[in-house]
Copies of this chain bind each other. A is one copy, B any other.
């Protein structure tokens, strides 16, 4: 501090860069709503104690859910309104023709897996004909990572709390897998094994252990370096260790345990289904600006908001930035996809990055960046999660429950940890990184909430 000159700067650093030899305090301030005047007016409309109360009510509903892992069953037996000859996919609705390579690849694989077509060309023809209905997992209480494709005979996790349920496929592991768009024999054989061996074996083990409290499992994993999305080593290891004594007595227990030992992401899909179950509790809370869904289909990013029910707000999504496997780079990357961002919607993944400093070696950045990311997410969330705590931040709860208004007001966009798929069908994963949600979806959602408000006022 020279000469007693102190500068407090808000906004662009161009101004302060020219102030030499002074103490500069830089505030992370920018004009609300990215300078969008319509959105600024909407912000002033969607305000007051009624919105705040609706948000707290919605948040309380979400945080009251205690998801338990109940079993593993064929999708057709448990998923509501699952079509007998139809497929679910990740993200907001999208037509076959508009889909990206990896999602088309995964749908082709599922069509072959179900025996509806004998090869890729006939699968493409069938899917292009419109005879196989395609729809978002989210419309069926279901979530799927990356392409997120669910077919009727696939094994799915059943997660429940009382009379509410949510579903997710079994994680296939890394490498050449359906969810990254691969569909060769190796992929289909693994899906077959998951259907006839792994699914029933895990289901039987769960009937013997009884329901597993997922909130407790994930909370413990957060104190062990997981963030519940891109890093699932602790939750997977804890789950494997817990199921092992029972699995050891099952006919196919050794091969199930081998699969669990080799797949560090096995618990991801369970974390996702649990987050979906919790957020579905606030799927329709009038007046609330709480985000209940964030997902991507490889072309568009989509959100749903408590106050506008099942209406989608969508915008184009870009590829993640991060680290690539050797031989691959941004030019090979598909735009982001998957329902796995349901974990961020609840307060895990990027929002809980401070729990997982080791993940920065996988998605880029440093341990300090991880903490900064979590702290930034506090600016756009409604509460701290009451159970999901961060040891490195003095056991504060993870930032939970995105408020559309806070995103628009601060300009801080939700950070999502994600994998990176090759843009061509059949190749698979080529890296991992982070992506931010596009601002447009929040501006649209805010406008819809403002319109709702006006409509109510005129009645």
Contacts and interface: CB of A to CB of B under 8 A. Distances in A.
A248 B237 contact: no
A253 B240 CA distance: 14
B241 A248 contact: no
A246 B257 CA distance: 9
Contact of A247 (B248, B358, B366, B393): B248
A193 to B, nearest CB: 15
A223 interface: yes
Interface string A240-253: 11101111110001
B234 A257 contact: no
Interface in A241-281: 241-242, 244-249, 253-255, 257-258, 260-261
A267 to B, nearest CB: 11
A367 interface: yes
Q: Which of A223, A247, A249 is most buried by chain B, counting CB atoms within 10 A of its CB?
A: A223
A211 interface: no
Contacts of A240: 237, 240-241, 244
A126 interface: no
Contacts of A437: none
A230 to B, nearest CB: 14
Given A224-B234, A253-B248, A391 B260 contact: no
A451 interface: no
Given A237-B234, A367-B393, A395-B367, A249 B254 contact: yes
A327 interface: no
Nearest to A391: B357
B238 A257 contact: no
Interface residues of A, number: 35
A55 to B, nearest CB: 29
B254 A242 contact: no
Given A247-B248, A367-B392, A394-B368, A242 B261 contact: yes
B248 A254 contact: yes
A413 interface: no
A109 B346 CA distance: 52
A254 B368 CA distance: 43
A258 B244 CA distance: 8
A433 interface: no
Contacts of A393: 367
Nearest to A264: B241
A100 interface: no
A225 interface: yes
A233 interface: yes
Contact of A392 (B244, B253, B254, B357): B357
A358 B224 CA distance: 9
Contacts of A392: 357, 367, 392
Of A224, A240, A241, A393, most B-chain CB atoms within 10 Å: A241
B237 A261 contact: no
Contacts of A233: 224
Contact of A238 (B237, B247, B358): B237
A225 to B, nearest CB: 4
A395 B253 CA distance: 37
A224 B358 CA distance: 9
A425 to B, nearest CB: 33
Nearest to A250: B248
Contacts of A245: 254-255, 257-258, 261
A363 B394 CA distance: 15
A442 B212 CA distance: 50
A394 B241 CA distance: 30
26 contacts: A223-B357, A224-B225, A225-B225, A234-B237, A237-B237, A237-B241, A240-B244, A241-B241, A241-B244, A241-B260, A244-B247, A244-B248, A244-B260, A244-B261, A245-B258, A245-B261, A246-B254, A248-B248, A248-B253, A248-B257, A249-B254, A357-B391, A357-B392, A361-B395, A366-B394, A367-B394
